[in-house]
Structure formats: structure tokens, C-alpha cells
Amino acid sequence: MANQSNSVSSTYELISQAAQRSPDATAITFVKAMAPAFTDETISYSQLLGHVSRTARMLREHLPTDSDKPGVISFLLPNIPQASFLLWGSEAIGIANPLNPLLSEDALTSLMEKAGTDIIVALGPNPNSDIWQKSVAVSQRLSKKPKLISALIPAGAEFDHYDTLLPQFKGDALPEEWLPKQDDIAAYFHTGGTTGTPKLAQHTHTNQLTMVHSYLGSMNLSEGDTIVNGLPMFHVAGSLVIGLGSVAVGGNMLLPTIAGFRDPNVIQRHWDIVDHYKVSVSGGISTSIASMAGIPIGQADISSLKCMITGGAPTPLSVAKEIMALTDRPLYQIYGLTEVAGGIALPNIDEAPVVGSSGYILESVEVRINSKQQQPGAVGEICVRGPMVFAGYLGEAESPLKEGWLHTGDLGYLDDKRNLFITGRAKDLIIRSGHNIDPAVIEACLDSHPDVSMSAAVAKPDIYAGELPVAYVQLHPNASVTEEELRSYAMENISERPACPKSVQILKELPVTAVGKIHKPSLRVLTAEDVVNETLKEFNVELKSKLLESGVIAIEVNVNSAEIDSVQQHCTTMHEALGLQFTLCEVEAA
């Protein structure tokens, strides 16, 4: 299968090959409901190819005819089959731009303006979502005034409806002259939105097909394997690693409800899903895995399960041990980036998982560790080069690559068997009085505590030391450990004294991104609020904080008029020393 996936020129050709091999096999199973019984829709490979072809024809008809540039189709959709049809149909005749529906109206407008969006397809009006309202507002703000089409739910006579339009177009093979070449841009995926408006990473068809080739070479999948995909299509793991990877091998991609892993019922009944659909491979991001580890298997038969996979962020060792003990199945880590269309380090399925490893580097993937000590175990920035590396960010003339190398910003090391270990983010390093502290040291310690589900360590601004390490934790249900006990535990078990956190705070839930990664910028905002509150504790003030697109933390201070001059002096000092941005709002004293 891997060789076949590497010999085609486009994602459309890959899907065509799969349909030719096994036209009647199930390509997608969409679980519509799980109660009172499982209700689903299945789509065969011949139907999948037909839907993708119809989608391509429908989109092509609605694209502008006065432009020599490829049309750009942006879509805001949940975890439904239409998202796959639109992704691959768009790539067949233009450029796909899957977007996170949870982004703000301003962020969506900025991204689509940069992309040059011609068509927007969005989930129709729904009382549980504002996706349609945002899409209407964005379409009116864009200079191109793109055509707006609803999907799944009709939006009235004023707007075309994707599900109604589709049957009006032929599902046979697309003309050869329409199809893209290997080096043509297939998609714009947004990335880097933790501190500002995300960038658009440009994927060629070669990038995506190389990713699939690597995935198939590592996973040892078979035709007919059922693979759970609970991740959204705007995330490369959901759309390319699992999504396109499942299609390339002739597998059955199982979509667990419209909300995917964001649906708490999907996590609660995960083992029933494995039983009912005879799942071969399941998994999710580390937060999902942590939740699954707390759900008893009960009477569910999980004998079909070969392994579980996880990625997006390193999974705490305690969580990995829990899930493997619960299932008696291996848990493999995947490490990758949007800029490489998915994975860099992948499972070595023929070997047992290496504890702490983020995956195995295939011989076909060129990776180096930027370290003065060129030997196994030396820590440095992870760099990658090769045909999976993207074509750059849209609209940025300067290439992010240096002699072809993509510098990931992640720190790690390789062992002598090409297993990759992530030790942290270069930008996440905590610098305490000139001493570099890897937050992974703190997190590994706290994660080892039996009451801790997951943790995150960040830098707290400090006028004297520059930064101090602090930690936030989320506990297992019914845990009773205190913050002071956790700090004492860290003091006892972290040998690097400067790395011992100055405080450990227990949160009901750690803040996460739309795909479930721990969102450290939100925690940094909390630490900044703590600093300001401590500094201004003698005054009567109220704070409102937010993270600006530049990455600067802005704090609005509401202060009594009688105290404003003194508060201004303190804020000036904090601004100069810590880089925080302040706005003082004068209120009348009570």
C-alpha cells in the first residue's frame, strides 16, 4: 500500500486508486447517535470517490471564471463526512482552506482575506453554534465577497445548500486536464495561533502524499481496518495522518458523532465504540487519552484493538501507563507539525513503545538535532528536511527554511535507535536569573503524583529574577491532595533546585485549545494577573487581562481616582521590568 500511495500525483488520484481496489469496502462510518442505540451512516469507496468528484464539479462551477489563479475554498465544518468530501474535492480543482470554526470573526476574516477565499462552506444555522452567523458576517467583510454555501443544515432560500447541490453533479472521474500536479498547492492549513492571528501553511500535494507514505510505512495497517478519527479536519492529524492515511490503506475511517472527541459521550462510551465497530486503531490527543484512562472497559469486547496512538503534545508517563494497563494494548506517540503535513516521528508498530519517546524517525525522514554534542542523547532544537516539509507561509516572502531545514522550535534528542524524545519548547524555557529551566522537568515530576491527571509549568514574570517557575495541575476525580502537598512533592523529587516551582495551583480543568492541547498562553495570563495583584494588593483595584496578537499580555486596571497616581507608578515599573501592557481606568471612590 505504501508504494502505491507514493506513486500518485495528487490526493484525488490516491482516492481514485483506493476506489478502484475496493469499490464496495466501507471508507467512512459516521456515527450519528449512540443512544438509545448506535445509529450510523456508511459510505463505500466508490461512493466516496463519487462524492469527491461531485464536490469538485460543484465548486468549479461556482468559482470565478475571470482569474488565472487556483480557486480557494474555505470551510468551517464539524466532524462530518461532508468535511472530507470538501477537503479532497477542493484539492482536486483548487486550494482547500479548512478553518477552525471556534476562531473569532476577526481571526477568520484575516485568514480568509489572506487566503483570497472564493467560496465559503459552513455549517448552517444551528441553535448550539454561531458558526453560520460568523460566516455570514465574515463573507460580508471580505474584499472578494465570496459565495457562501450552507452544509448539513439549510440556511433558507437566500443561500445555496451543499447537500442539495451535490446530487445535481456527475460523480464520474474528473477530466485529466483539471487535475493538479505534484508541486501544486493543495491546501492552506492555519497554524501558530497561540499568540496571535494564525499563519497559513501552504501544503503541496507532494507534502501530503509523502506524509501518507510515511504513515503507512510505520503503522502496518491492512485493508478493512477500522480507525477512529475524533479529530477535526482543520487539524493535520485528523485530515491527513488519520484521514488520508485511512483512505490510502483502504481502511474504514470512523467519525464518532458530529463533535468528535469534544463530545463527552464519545469519551464516556469509547470502549463500547471499539466493541460495536470492531475498531483496530483508536486514540487521540493526550487530554483525550487521560479521560479514556479513567473509563472502565466493563463488559466491552476490545479484542479487535491492535493499538492506540496519541499526539499533539507529549502524553504524561503516568497516563500512558494507565491506558496500557487498562487495555493491555500498546500506546504509540506521534510527533509532528502543520508545517510537515502531519508527522515527523511515527509509531514503530513492529516494536513495543519506548517509554517517554514521541515516536520513531523513519530512515526516509531527515532529522537532525541542533546541538554542539553530535551524539545520541544530546539535547537541541529538532530540525527536519525533505519532501514532507511545506512550501512556506502564504504571503511571507522570506522562507522559514534554512538550507531546506525547518527549525521546529521544539527541543529534544534522539537515542541510538532513532527514537525521538521531546524535552520542551525553545520558547517555553523558563529563564530564572540566567538559569535555563525546562518545564518538562517540573511536569514530569508532578505528572508522577498519583492524584495528578496532567500538569503544565510556565514562567511567572518577576522583577528581580526575570522569571520564576510556577505550575498548574488538573487532578483525577475524587483526588484530595492540596496545593502545598504538591509543592512539597516537587521539592522532594526535583533535583534541579532552581526548577522547583514557586507555587502549584490546582485548576478544575487546564485550559486547552480547540484540539485539546494545553494552552500555556492562557496560563501565562493567569501568572501575570497574580503578579499584578500581589504588587497592587494595598490598593482597591479590579483587573481584566487578555493576550494581544503580538503575544504581549495587556491588563486593564480599574482603580479609585484617589489612588491612581500611586498605582500608575507601580504599573510603570512593571511595564518596564516585565513587558506587561497596562491601561488604567479611573473610577470614583466608593
Q: Which residues of 229-245 are buried (b: 16+ CB within 10 A; e: fewer)?
A: bbbbbbbbbbbbbbbbb
Q: The dihedral of CA 56, 62, 68, 73: what is its sign?
A: negative
CATH number of 2-164+182-421: 3.40.50.12780
| CA distance linking residue 174 with residue 56, whole number of Å | 8
- 485 pLDDT exceeds 60? yes
415 vs 589, residue with greater confidence: 415
Say how many residues make up the chain: 590
Asked if the model's pLDDT at residue 196 lies above 50, the reply is no
Range of lowest pLDDT (112-121, 312-321, 480-489): 312-321
Q: 533-579: per-residue pLDDT in tens?
A: 888 988 988 988 887 755 678 899 999 888 898 999 888 888 877 77
Is 238:232 a contact under the CB 8 Å cutoff? yes
- pLDDT per residue as tens digits for the range 356-375: 899 999 888 899 998 777 77
pLDDT digits (tens, 9 = 90+) for 496-544: 778 899 999 999 999 987 666 788 888 988 998 898 988 898 898 898 8
Residue with cell 517509554: 355
Q: What is the mean pLDDT of residues 163-185?
A: 96
Other Cβ atoms closer than 10 A to 530: 15
Q: What is the pLDDT of residues 391-445, one digit of tens each?
A: 899 998 888 898 889 998 888 899 999 999 887 766 677 878 656 687 888 998 9
Q: Does domain 429-506 have CATH number 3.40.50.300?
A: no
Domain ranges in the chain are: 2-164+182-421, 429-506, 536-587
Helix (H, G, I), strand (E, B) or coil at 366: strand
- Mean per-residue pLDDT, 376-390: 89
- Is the per-residue pLDDT at 1 higher than 50? no
Higher pLDDT, 192 or 385: 385
Q: Residue ranges of the alpha helices (H) in 188-314?
A: 205-219, 236, 245-249, 264-268, 270-277, 286-293
Cβ partners under 8 Å of residue 465, min gap 6: 432, 433
Q: How far apart are CA 159 and CA 347, in angstroms?
A: 45
Per-residue pLDDT, 549 = 57
Decide: 557 and 571 in contact? Cβ < 8 Å: yes
CB 421 within 8 A of CB 448: no
Those residues with Cβ within 8 angstroms of residue 576's Cβ, 6 or more apart along the chain or in another chain: none
CATH class of 536-587: alpha beta
Q: Which residues pair with 402 in a beta bridge?
A: 405
Mean pLDDT rounded to a whole number for the chain: 90
